[in-house]
Amino acid sequence: MKIKSLGKHLFLWVLVIFTLFPIYIVIESSLTDTGSLATGTLVPPHPTWANFALLFHNNGSIPYFRWMGNTLILAIANAIISVIVGAASAFAFSRMRFKGRKFGLQALLLVQVFPSFLALAAIYVMMERVFTVFPQIGLGSLGGLLLIYLGGSMGVNAWLLKGYIDTIPLELDEAARIDGASTIQVYWIIFFPLAAPVLAVTALLSFIGTFNEFVLASLFLQDVNRRTVAVGLQQFVGAQFGQNWGPFAAGSLIASIPLVILFLSLQRFIIGGLTSGATKG
């Protein structure tokens, strides 16, 4: 038994080291001024904060904080709106009976089957036409990109939340209706408190997905001041003969702080949301 336990611990430590090694490389690269990922040593010989200073003191040539602000606005707005609309849609599909309900669920599932990049050309042309009428939500705007993100996340969130709502006993709805509660009151009083864990998980996944998204943001946001942090930092490593990994690593570390804070803040709800579906009777 001791040998078996030792093997398990050894395997877990190997996994931990394998997981933490990329993070260590990023931290090491952010503290070196060579501009390379490989320093040849485990510890930087001459640690420096020059890469962080480049992001903070650049005379406006690198609007890093504007990139972070754009990213946070998109991620927070997408998380909140997608959860609100997704929860309402899931409640309707789960608890209400109306014409086209089954077809709507099948359509949502069918849309999710196709990879999103198949629609890039069509979305680009559509948003380009929208720009001529409503520039605020057209091509190159944060509002237009938010609409695209919302359209892509609605189906997934609706299906995820519907599966959770289906596990909530119908007797709770019936008891509330006997007491005179309307459908909206059942939604806010019964569903929302019970679904708080899965709503937190859905919001977190939407936030992280939007925060890390690169393909759509790089295609639609051409203005330097409107870029997200992922698109903005890519300029440090995207040049053919001028890759500078130091500022890229420093910016990546700073950008990870909101994700870590959000994850730690919602950890209690995340655990409940991932496990309650299996324990609910």
**Phi–psi pair at 113, nearest 5 degrees:** -70, -35
Give the Å distances, CA to CA, from 140 to 134, 162, 193: 12, 34, 38
pLDDT of residue 278: 41
DSSP 22-63: HHHHHHHHHT-SS--S--SSSS-SS---HHHHHHHSSTTSS-
User: pLDDT by residue (tens digit) across 147-189?
Assistant: 989 887 777 888 888 888 888 888 888 888 888 888 888 888 8
- pLDDT band for position 279 (50/70/90)? very low
Question: Quick one: DSSP state of residue 138?
Answer: S
Provide the residue range defining the domain that includes 254: 76-279
Q: Say if residue 106's pLDDT is above 60.
A: yes
Q: What tokens does 159 get?
A: 């299906």
Q: Say if residue 276's pLDDT is above 60.
A: no
Q: What tokens does 55 get?
A: 């992001």
Ranges 3-17, 104-118, 248-262, most confident:
248-262
Are residues 121 and 16 part of one domain?
no
Helix ranges, 62-136 (H): 64-95, 101-113, 120-133
pLDDT of residue 281: 41
pLDDT of residue 60: 66
In a domain, 162, yes or no: yes
State how far the Cα of 106 lies from the Cα of 111, in Å rounded to an integer.
9
User: Are the C-beta atoms of residues 185 and 264 closer than 8 Å to each other?
Assistant: no
In a domain, 235, yes or no: yes
User: Are the C-beta atoms of residues 112 and 155 closer than 8 Å to each other?
Assistant: yes
Are residues 96 and 23 part of one domain?
no
Question: Quick one: DSSP state of residue 214?
Answer: -
Are residues 132 and 32 part of one domain?
no
Are residues 158 and 47 part of one domain?
no
CATH number of 206's domain: 1.10.3720.10
Q: Which of 280, 22, 78, 224 is nearest to 234 (CA)?
A: 224
Are residues 154 and 88 part of one domain?
yes
